[in-house]
């Protein structure tokens, strides 16, 4: 696995928004900097700062946010939420993965909502409270980052997903000792063999 940055850059999705693939190696906790009106298919654009592409929540996640924060967009600014990649999200009957909210400010206990899962079918979705002054650590230990990478590899089903995970692990790989590098390389190769059948 090369540590050259241009390799990682070459496999980044060309997109104007945060993608589920961007979260394959672990969740992120962000604070909303602004909210804008988008196009008809993605009517809400949430600016999350940290040089990240904006988050364009799906209808289900917009319902979570509006239920907790209300429908006044200005009230969303300054609120925080933790986003993660849910590999079980379906589109047109296929599991494609999607961004979901695990924690959110504005509540003091877990809140469960009934959200549409498929046409005519709803399922419970639970979001946990996120304290603005006690956000999850954004800096993780090497061991935690390796475990997150291993989990992402285990969930990957295509060679394309595995390549994207490898690109996101470039910085981590440069910090590992020889034994850790060998282990992560083995996980990468095993996942690739599994995906290729």
- Residue ranges per structural domain of the chain: 5-11+139-196, 28-129
Give CA torsion, residues 75, 138, 10, 8, to 10 deg.
Answer: 180
| Alpha-carbon gap, residue 115 to 119, rounded angstroms | 11
Pairing mode, strands 121-129 and 111-118? antiparallel
User: With contact defined as beta carbons under 8 Å apart, do 129 and 103 qualify?
Assistant: yes
Question: pLDDT tens digits for the chain (197 residues)?
Answer: 444 555 555 555 557 899 888 888 889 999 999 999 999 989 999 999 878 899 999 999 999 999 999 999 999 999 999 999 988 887 666 677 889 999 999 999 999 999 877 667 888 999 999 976 544 444 567 887 788 788 788 877 888 888 878 877 877 788 889 998 898 889 888 988 888 87
pTM: 0.65
Place of tokens 């298919």: 41
Q: How far is Cα 91 from Cα 73, in angstroms, rounded to an integer?
A: 27
């Amino acid at each position: 696995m090369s540590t050259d940055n241009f390799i990682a850059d070459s496999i980044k999705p060309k997109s104007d928004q945060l993608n589920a693939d961007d979260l394959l190696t672990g969740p992120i906790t962000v604070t909303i900097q602004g909210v804008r009106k988008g196009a008809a298919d993605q009517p809400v654009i949430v600016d999350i700062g940290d040089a990240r592409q904006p988050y364009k929540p799906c209808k289900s996640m917009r319902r979570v946010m509006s239920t907790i924060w209300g429908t006044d967009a200005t009230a969303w600014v300054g609120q925080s939420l933790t986003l993660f990649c849910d590999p079980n999200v379906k589109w047109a009957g296929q599991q494609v993965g999607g961004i979901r909210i695990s924690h959110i400010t504005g509540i003091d206990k877990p809140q469960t909502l009934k959200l549409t899962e498929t046409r005519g079918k709803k399922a419970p979705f639970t979001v946990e409270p996120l304290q603005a002054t006690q956000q999850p650590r954004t800096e993780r230990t090497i061991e935690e980052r390796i475990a997150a990478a291993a989990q992402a590899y285990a969930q990957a089903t295509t060679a394309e997903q595995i390549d994207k995970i490898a690109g996101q692990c470039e910085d981590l790989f440069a910090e590992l000792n020889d034994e850790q590098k060998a282990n992560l390389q083995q996980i990468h190769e095993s996942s690739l063999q599994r995906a290729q059948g």
